[in-house]
Amino acid sequence: MSAVPSSSDAPRTPAVTTTSSLDVTDAAAAAGHVVEQLRARRPLVQCITNYVSMDLAANLLNAAGASPAMVHHPQEAGEFAGLADAVVANIGTPSPDWADGIVAATTVAVERGVPWVLDPVAVGATSYRRDLAGRLLTNRPTVIRGNAGEVLALAGVAGASRGVDSAADSSAVGDQAAALAAEAGCVVAVTGARDLVTDGRRQLTIDGGDRRAPMITALGCSATALVAACCAVGEDRLAATAAALAMITVAIERAGRDAAGPGSLRWRLLDELADLSADQVGSRIEESHRDDQS
Ligand SMILES: Nc1ncnc2c1ncn2[C@@H]1O[C@H](COP(=O)(O)OP(=O)(O)O)[C@@H](O)[C@H]1O
Ligand SMILES: Cc1ncsc1CCOP(=O)(O)O
Ligand SMILES: [Mg+2]
């Protein structure tokens, strides 16, 4: 059974089509604009994220041009969301307090019309995580970003994860991701060797990167934080989400040229992110789309 709670205003029948209704040139231009806007506006991103990811997510946001703040305690999370330009809700190391902080912050985000992004870390592993994700989905995330196993778990398919890692291929879950997006009324981003972004109607893919990416722990969580930052400055949330993932893909690919292993890949990724151009990001989205169609 899907983890998406039924609600009268959520569409129950997914309207899944392919990329035909997407103008990829517009999406790529919008994504490039997002890269420029990040640096110009430096959005404040409230990250309620797990212990493992705090350092990398904060550094990655700083390198990309955003302003991170790790504020999760329920006594202040809702109040802080009143100041934030975007909110990250990551369930990687959950606790009752953490969950209350996430609910408070995402409720304020929804009230203010500020984007919030759910990272359903290891959602298929325990009933506590499943229940928490179900509770959060009632607050209608702007974007869900997960690996293939997590997206399948939210779609009701069990057994596709090993802890926080996916046991499934991101390329194989396009239909489930589109159905989840339509049902939850949000953008869904599935990462992996190929990243896929869908709103249930339109779809973008991003190819490339470095095959050693999975050896950098919390890279997915940090990608989620960057998706939130990009959604703070990009009105088209499909393009903004694709911008975030393409930024990481291009930067890690460049980092990988001189990286001896996962350690130097990690720090070189931050250097490359800070140096990235809007053109590189837009071009990657266009090229990936062309490859996907051929
Ligand atoms: N095999 C791979 N080759 C290239 N990039 C990858 C690969 N697997 C994951 N990535 C990249 O690593 C980042 C984190 O994705 P992923 O590993 O799916 O998330 P998580 O860490 O949540 O499991 C994304 O930017 C994704 O594109
Ligand atoms: C290892 C680990 N354990 C709980 S959260 C976490 C980090 C997971 O990060 P990511 O999903 O980005 O690899
Ligand atoms: Mg993850």
pTM value is 0.95
Domain assignment of residue 32, yes or no: no
- Percent of the chain, pLDDT > 70? 93
Domain assignment of residue 150, yes or no: yes
User: Which residue matches tokens 């194989």?
Assistant: 172
Residue 255 is predicted with a pLDDT of 98
ipTM above 0.90, yes or no: yes
Return the closest-CA partner of residue 119 out of 203, 218, 213.
218
Atom of ligand 2 nearest to the CA of 217: 13
Domain assignment of residue 208, yes or no: yes
Q: Which ligand is nearest to the CA of 222?
A: 2
Domain assignment of residue 105, yes or no: yes
Residue 2 is predicted with a pLDDT of 59
Atom of ligand 2 nearest to the CA of 121: 11
Positions in the chain whose pLDDT score sits under 50: 1, 6-20
Residue 22 is predicted with a pLDDT of 76
Domain assignment of residue 265, yes or no: no
Region at 270 (left for phi over 0; alpha for psi -120 to 50; beta for the rest): alpha
Atom of ligand 1 nearest to the CA of 191: 18
Domain assignment of residue 286, yes or no: no
Determine the residue of 173, 191, 196 to mutate for testing ligand 1's pocket, defined as the one with the most ligand atoms within 8 A of the Cβ atom: 191
Cβ contact 147:173 at 8 Å: no
Return the closest-CA partner of residue 193 out of 163, 174, 214, 167.
214
Residue 140 is predicted with a pLDDT of 97
Domain of residue 217 covers: 41-245
Residue 124 is predicted with a pLDDT of 97
Cβ contact 156:176 at 8 Å: no
Residue 1 is predicted with a pLDDT of 42
Residue 7 is predicted with a pLDDT of 38
Return the closest-CA partner of residue 178 out of 236, 226, 238.
238
Domain assignment of residue 84, yes or no: yes
Enumerate the known binding-site residues for substrate.
70, 218
pLDDT in tens, 221-239: 999 999 999 999 999 999 9
Domain assignment of residue 275, yes or no: no
Q: What is the CATH number of the domain that holds 54?
A: 3.40.1190.20
Total tally of structural domains belonging to the chain: 1
β-pairing, 165-166 vs 116-119, is unpaired
User: Which residue matches tokens 């205003």?
Assistant: 9
